[in-house]
Structure 1
C-alpha cells in the first residue's frame, strides 16, 4: 500500500494506557502516511493512569511505530501535555529525529504556526491537580461503560453512541469552557502575530478562522484518539482535519478547502512537491516523450520517479 506523502501530521490526546485508546486505528493511520514532520501534541502516553498496569501490545506498537518513523527520517516532535507532564523535565531534548519540547513555532510557507497542548489554560489543572486527575479517572470509567453500551448496540444492529459527547454538548459549563478555551488561544495568537494556533487537550477537533479587533488567526485543534479519532494534516499550503471514520486511507487532496484554492497556486504546490519526490518532467510538456506518466496516479498519490 502506498503512503500519502504530507508535510505535517499532528495528533494529540491518544492516552496510551487507558481503556478508551483506539491504538489499532491509530496504527492503521500512521501506516497510511509518510509525513516530513510528525507532531505529537500532548497526552500521548497517559502517565496519570499507569497505576492500573494496563498497557496492551497494541499500545506498545504505537510507540514502536513512532520510533520507527523517526529512524526512517520523519522529524518527530513530542510536545508535553498534562497527562504526560513528567516528560517536561526532559524538555528540550533531541535524540536524532526525536524531540521532546513543551511548545514550538513553525514557519509554514511564510506563515507562523504556534503549537502547544493547551492545558496551560485549564485552571483546574493549575490550581487543583487532584480534581483534574479525579476527572480523568471518571472520564476513563465513562469511556469503559460506553464501550459496553456500544457493544450491545452493535449486537442489535444499531449505530454506536458517544456518552461523553452527549454530556459535553448538553452541559452548559462544558460548552462554555470549550468556547473560552478556543477564544483565549486565538486572542493570544493574534496578539503575538501567529497565523495559526494549534492545540489539543479538549478533545474537540476544529478548524476555524477567529477574528478580533486586533486581527485574525486560524484556530486548529487535533481532537483525540478516544472519541473522535482525528488528526491535523498540512500539505499544499493548507490545513485539514483528518477523520478516521470517513477519511480512512483517502487521498489528501480530496478536501473541500482545495475547491477554493487558486488553480495556479494549486499547480505550483503540486509541482514543488512532485519535484521534491523525484519526478522528472518531459522537456516538451505539450508533446511528452513515450513512457512519461501523469503526475498523479488514479488514487491521488504522487508517483515515484520510476512511475510506480
Structure 2
C-alpha cells in the first residue's frame, strides 16, 4: 500500500512518557503518510511527568520515526507547549530539518496560517503551575481507570466509553474554559488578519468557521493522542480532521526497519540523525 501524500500534517498533545499515550496508534498513522511538512504543536513529550522507569520502546519509536521523516525531507516544526516547556530554550534553533519554535506562521495557497499550542491562554498554568501539574496527575489517573473500564467493555463486546469527556462536558467550568479558549484564539486571529488559526492544548479536535464584525477565520484544533487520537491534515487547499478510530490502515502498524530494534539500538540510530544546530528565522512572538 502506498503512503498518502499530504502537504501538511498537525499533531499535538501526544504526551510521550505517560501511560495515557497511544504511541502504537500514532506510529501506525505516521507510517501511513508522507507529509511535506509536519507540525508538532506542543506537548509531544510530557516532561512534567517524565520518569526513567516508564518510557517504552514504542514511545522511542515514535521519536525515531519523526526524526526519520525529517531525514527523508519532511520539514518538521516542533512548537513547544507547556508539558515540554523545557525545550523552549532551543526555540530559534534547528537540528537538520527539525525546527524548534514558540509559534509559527505559514502561507498556505495565499492564506496566512497561525500555529501555536495555546497554553499562553491558560491562567492556571501561567500563575500556578503546581496546581496545573496536580490536575494533570488526576487526569492521568482518570485515563488509567478509563482504560481498565474500556478493556472490560471490550471483552463483552460493548462500545468504549470516555469518562473524561463525560466530565468535561458536564462541568460548567471546563466547558466555559474551552469556549473562552476557542473564542480568544479566533478573535486574535481575526485581529491579526490570519485566515487560519491552529491550536492544540485543550484536547478538543475541531474545525469551525468564525465570523465577527472585524472579519472571519477558520479555527482548527488538532485534538490529542490520549483520548481522541486525531490530527489535522491540509491538502488540495482543504483542511480535515483525521480520526484514527475511522481509519483502516493497520498494515502500516510498524516500519520493517523498526521491527525488532531494542531501546539501545533506537537510541544509537536516533543520535546519527541529529545534525549540528543552526539558527532559523521561523520564531515569532505572540
State the TM bucket, normalised to the shorter chain. 0.7 to 0.9
**Corresponding residue number in structure 1 for 2:9:** 9
How many pairs were matched up? 250
**Corresponding residue number in structure 2 for 1:140:** 140
**Corresponding residue number in structure 1 for 2:75:** 75
**Corresponding residue number in structure 2 for 1:113:** 113
Secondary structure of the structure 2 residue equivalent to 1:83: coil
For the Cα contact (< 8 Å) 1:10–1:40, is it kept in 2? Answer: yes
Distance 1:157 1:248 in 2: 19
**TM-score when normalising by structure 1:** 0.80
**Corresponding residue number in structure 1 for 2:192:** 192
**Corresponding residue number in structure 2 for 1:206:** 206
Matches within 5 A, 1:8-157: 8-51=8-51, 53-157=53-157
Distance 1:71 1:51 in 2: 28
Distance 1:65 1:49 in 2: 22
Secondary structure of the structure 1 residue equivalent to 2:83: coil
For the Cα contact (< 8 Å) 2:189–2:195, is it kept in 1? Answer: yes
**Corresponding residue number in structure 2 for 1:235:** 235
**Corresponding residue number in structure 2 for 1:274:** none
For the Cα contact (< 8 Å) 1:75–1:97, is it kept in 2? Answer: yes
Q: Tell me how far 1:16 sits from its aligned partner.
A: 0.2
For the Cα contact (< 8 Å) 1:77–1:101, is it kept in 2? Answer: yes
Distance 1:52 1:126 in 2: 27
Distance 2:52 2:109 in 1: 44
For the Cα contact (< 8 Å) 2:38–2:75, is it kept in 1? Answer: yes
Secondary structure of the structure 1 residue equivalent to 2:50: helix
Secondary structure of the structure 2 residue equivalent to 1:117: coil
**Corresponding residue number in structure 2 for 1:216:** 216
For the Cα contact (< 8 Å) 1:204–1:222, is it kept in 2? Answer: yes
For the Cα contact (< 8 Å) 1:223–1:231, is it kept in 2? Answer: yes
Q: Tell me how far 1:52 sits from its aligned partner.
A: 6.5
- Unaligned segments of structure 1, at least 5 residues: 251-308
For the Cα contact (< 8 Å) 2:20–2:140, is it kept in 1? Answer: yes
The structure showing larger relative contact order (alpha-carbon pairs under 8 Å, at least 6 residues apart) is: 2
- Unaligned segments of structure 2, at least 5 residues: 251-286
Matches within 5 A, 1:162-173: 162-173=162-173
For the Cα contact (< 8 Å) 1:29–1:248, is it kept in 2? Answer: no
Secondary structure of the structure 2 residue equivalent to 1:217: strand
**Corresponding residue number in structure 1 for 2:244:** 244
**Corresponding residue number in structure 1 for 2:158:** 158
Q: Tell me how far 1:156 sits from its aligned partner.
A: 1.7
Q: Tell me how far 1:53 sits from its aligned partner.
A: 2.7
Distance 2:33 2:5 in 1: 6
Deviation string, structure 1 residues 145-170 (Cα, Å, up to 9, x no partner): 11111111111221111100110111
Cα gap change, 1:248/1:103 in structure 2, threshold over 3 Å: closer, same or farther?
Answer: farther
**Corresponding residue number in structure 2 for 1:226:** 226
Distance 1:9 1:53 in 2: 31
**TM-score when normalising by structure 2:** 0.86
Deviation string, structure 1 residues 15-39 (Cα, Å, up to 9, x no partner): 0011110000000000000000000
For the Cα contact (< 8 Å) 2:17–2:51, is it kept in 1? Answer: no
